[in-house]
């Protein structure tokens, strides 16, 4: 961590440091929960789910086949 920044943070009150810490946690959680798939991949998954629901008796693809296709889709 930047030494100057750390020194400035030490001068904050307990309430300010707590507020900053909570804001950092919320920010990190938000970033961590951000979508791990692209919009194109999400569209493909929704399309497949809709097709499956409309045709439940039709054979599908294995998870490994689906994963390979999704990973090959350009981001």
Taking the model in full, what pTM does it have? 0.42
Residue 64 to residue 70: CA distance in whole angstroms: 10
SS3 string, 48-72, reads HHHHHHHCCCCCCCCHHHHHHHHHH
**Per-residue pLDDT for 11 more than 80?**
yes
Domain ranges, ordered by start, for the chain: 3-32, 39-72
Residue 75 to residue 64: CA distance in whole angstroms: 19
Give the model's confidence band at 15: pLDDT under 50 very low, under 70 low, under 90 confident, else very high. Answer: very high
Cβ neighbours of residue 52 closer than 8 Å, sequence gap 6 or more: 58, 60
Give the model's confidence band at 75: pLDDT under 50 very low, under 70 low, under 90 confident, else very high. Answer: low
């Amino acid at each position: 961590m930047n030494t100057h920044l750390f020194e400035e943070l030490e001068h904050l009150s307990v309430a300010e440091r707590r507020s900053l810490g909570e804001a950092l946690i919320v920010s990190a959680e938000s970033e961590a929960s951000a979508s791990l798939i692209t919009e194109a991949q999400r569209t493909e998954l929704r399309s497949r789910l809709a097709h499956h629901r409309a045709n439940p008796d039709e054979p599908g693809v294995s998870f490994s086949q689906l994963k390979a296709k999704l990973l090959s889709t350009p981001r």
